[in-house]
Amino acid sequence: MAEIETFYERVGGSPFFADLVSQFYARVSIDLILAPMYPDKDFKQAAQRLQMFLEQYWGGPGTYSETRGHPRLRMRHGSFHIDSSARDAWLSCMRGAVDGVDISQELKDELWKYLYSAAIHLVNQPD
């Protein structure tokens, strides 16, 4: 009986997520709203955390929870000022990254749908 492939497998596993996250952080590091949120300019560690999280979310290895615990993304973002401008800046960097990766449009749509709604959910400041 054929196994049902996870999204993680359908996009090609870890190299895909490494590419996505590296394209995303290349944009974040020069974004006027987002870059100052990383005071140590420690994009490498942040990129690793986001990559582990996304791999786990999409059915890959559970390394994120093994090393960081339960995701609790709203709580983990509580110390950052996320208003609609920060959300839009994040989404714009991520849109660029999603547009830049080499997967089918159908897979891009599925990925984007999740990222978009997750970003909306993480806004913690009123306009």
Sites of contact with ligand HEM (CB under 6 A): 34, 37-38, 46, 49-50, 53, 68, 73, 76-77, 80, 82, 86-87, 90, 115, 118-119, 122
* Cβ-based nearer residue to ligand HEM, 71 or 104: 71
Q: How far is the CB of 126 from ligand HEM (least distance, A)?
A: 14
* Cβ-based nearer residue to ligand HEM, 104 or 121: 121
Torsion of the alpha carbons at 78, 84, 89 and 95, rounded to the nearest 10: 100
Residue 53 C-beta-side C-alpha neighbours within 13 Å: 16
Q: Say how far apart CA 112 and CA 120 lie, in whole Å.
A: 12
Q: How far is the CB of 1 from ligand HEM (least distance, A)?
A: 32
Q: How far is the CB of 27 from ligand HEM (least distance, A)?
A: 13
- Are residues 22 and 98 in contact, defined by beta-carbon separation less than 8 angstroms? no
Q: How far is the CB of 67 from ligand HEM (least distance, A)?
A: 8
